[in-house]
């Protein structure tokens, strides 16, 4: 993995990175901008008392999906149901490795 940008002080992930020759970009989404069906599945599964901290847009070679940070440092996406990650970078790598529509 090659990190093109270092994480900022308030984020634990880079703005962009590469994995297996694939370009991955990360950006924050406003709370009201959750549209992705897979991310909505995450919202349905979480405990109603548990609030998400932030929503991220992850782009892999211009194909986008959404990630929800449920607690400090716990990231999930409906693309990989029932899997939690300590980093959106690790989550994006597993999407590349295991989700057919993101494989080359």
Residues 9-60 have pLDDT tens digits of: 456 789 999 999 999 999 998 755 455 555 566 566 555 555 667 889 999 9
| Domain interval for residue 85 | 2-102
Name the token pair of 97.
């490795």
- Asked whether 6 and 45 are in contact (CB, 8 A), the reply is no
* Number of structural domains the chain divides into: 1
List C-alpha distances in Å: 92 to 2, 72, 88, 104: 13, 18, 6, 14
Taking the model in full, what pTM does it have? 0.74
In order, the DSSP letters of 30-86 are -GGG---HHHHHHHHHS-TTPPPSEEEEEEETTEEEEEEEEETTEEE-TTSTT--BS
């Amino acid at each position: 993995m090659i990190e093109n940008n270092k994480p900022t002080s308030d984020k634990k992930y880079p703005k962009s990175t590469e994995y297996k020759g694939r370009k991955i970009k990360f950006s924050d989404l406003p709370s009201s901008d959750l549209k992705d069906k897979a991310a909505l599945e995450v919202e349905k599964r979480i405990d109603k008392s548990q609030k998400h901290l932030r929503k991220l847009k992850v782009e892999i070679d211009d194909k986008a999906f959404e990630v929800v940070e449920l607690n400090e440092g716990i990231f999930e996406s409906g693309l990989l149901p029932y899997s939690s990650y300590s980093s959106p970078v690790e989550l994006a790598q597993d999407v590349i490795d295991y989700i057919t529509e993101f494989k080359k």
